[in-house]
Amino acid sequence: MKIALLSDFHLGYGRFREDAYKQAEEALGKAADLADLLLIPGDIFDNRNPDPEILAEAITLFRNLSERDWKARVTEFEGAGRHFTSVPVVAIPGTHERRAEGVEDPVDLLGLAGLLVDVSNAQAIVEKDGERVAIRGIGGIADDRFREVLKKEAPRPAPGMFSIFLFHESVYEFLPFSKDFIKTEELPDGFDLYACGHIHSRVESKAHGKPFLIPGSTVLTQLKGGEQERKGFYIFDTKTGAYSFNCIDSRRFVLVRISAGGRAPSEIERDIEERIKAEAARGDVPILRIEIEGRLKEGYRNLDINTPELVERYRKMATVEIGKLGMELEEGADAGKVTKSLPVESISIKDYGLGIFMEKLKESKYGLQKNPAELFEMLSADEKKDSVVGRVVDMLIG
């Protein structure tokens, strides 16, 4: 069987909403042309409460897939929830869709609508010409809870068939920032393929001697050096164990570094303009992040570089973001300090917030029964703050 692995579409991502939709559409379409089965390990949506317009985008994409003539079919399902389609599009919710336990998330909605099969804490079996493939999934949860859930769920490969473990977490080998992050050796043993979402640049590695793949996001989200590679998806062949990365026509992203070199702001502005013009010459409206480093000529401040004006002037030729981080900061030195202390290459702001929350709880010697990560989920629910706080207080002392 040919399996496509594609992830982190982030539909509704504010800054590049159109890119998110177009690139997900292209990835899904190409993947469906090449594969018998599509696997999506989370973050289909950028937000756990997407607007109806964003839900409509997702429904459109997945309905188009449902109408294709699939040779493979989901024939069995076991575990949490139910399945409402036999179309071989199998997914889990990611951390961006995560909501408090027992509450529907937007991927659940797509599952209920029969547009995909949600294998969060469940296993689906897909069959084609007598070949059977099992997909065991665990939806994205707070990193510090993943070991506990692995223990409780004890995911095991299905006997006698090619088995895939599908999940959405930070993995320590590729994000060595926290001891909470799972190591590949801690993943359940015995699967033939490990497929993960969450990390937005692609990873090809091994877990328990078997292929471990992360396809990365289909849309640019972080404007970091590592995201300059082309976006796309994997195709994995269960017969040969071979896999290949297939690029999509994602918007080009270029990180440009300019040294201030003791010059006046007007000279740096000229430099920036030249770089924008050079990159925009291909006419593909690239995304440029320009980082200015070093020190300005004496007597000038960072603010003297008129970046908003430059961004606006070239808006139609390129999407430009100009950062002055890394310069000797005269103004906003504290902001610089905070940003530099962020261990973020691929951690979401939410996960970073959760980290701070956990630190504070540790300091105050939190000793209650309720899991702190679950508490954080409840407190960060998109509802009126007094009803959220009321519910949390009820839960803690009620």
Q: Which is nearer to Mn ion, 36 or 43 (CB)?
A: 43
Residue (of 153, 28, 161) closest to 87 by Cα position: 28
Question: For residue 283, is it left (φ>0), alpha (ψ between -120 and 50) or beta?
Answer: left
Taking the complex as a whole, the smallest distance from the CB of residue 385 to Mn ion amounts, in Å, to 26
Q: Which of residues 10-29 bind Mn ion (CB under 5 A)?
A: none
Q: Which is nearer to Mn ion, 83 or 200 (CB)?
A: 200
The residue of the chain with the least Cβ separation from Mn ion equals: 43
Taking the complex as a whole, the smallest distance from the CB of residue 96 to Mn ion amounts, in Å, to 6
Taking the complex as a whole, the smallest distance from the CB of residue 171 to Mn ion amounts, in Å, to 13
Rg value, the chain, Cα: 23
Write down the H helix ranges in 342-397.
349-363, 372-379, 385-397
* Residues contacting residue 248 through CB under 8 Å, at least 6 positions apart: 23, 26, 27, 30, 218, 230, 231, 232, 233
Q: Does 351 bind Mn ion (CB under 5 A)?
A: no
Side-chain-side CA neighbours of 250 within 13 Å: the count stands at: 26
Piece in contact with Mn ion (CB under 5 A), picked from 38-46, 175-183, 282-290, 305-313 = 38-46
Q: Which is nearer to Mn ion, 43 or 180 (CB)?
A: 43
Strand 122-128 and strand 73-79: the pairing is antiparallel
Q: Which is nearer to Mn ion, 8 or 180 (CB)?
A: 8
Q: Does 8 bind Mn ion (CB under 5 A)?
A: yes
- Do the Cβ atoms of 72 and 40 come closer than 8 Å? no
Q: Which is nearer to Mn ion, 139 or 157 (CB)?
A: 139
Q: Does 43 bind Mn ion (CB under 5 A)?
A: yes
Secondary structure (DSSP) of 250-287: PPPEEEEEEE-TT--HHHHHHHHHHHHHHHHTTSS--E
Q: Does 118 bind Mn ion (CB under 5 A)?
A: no
Piece in contact with Mn ion (CB under 5 A), picked from 23-31, 43-51, 179-187, 362-370 = 43-51
Taking the complex as a whole, the smallest distance from the CB of residue 319 to Mn ion amounts, in Å, to 20
Q: Contact positions toward Mn ion, by CB under 5 A?
A: 8, 43
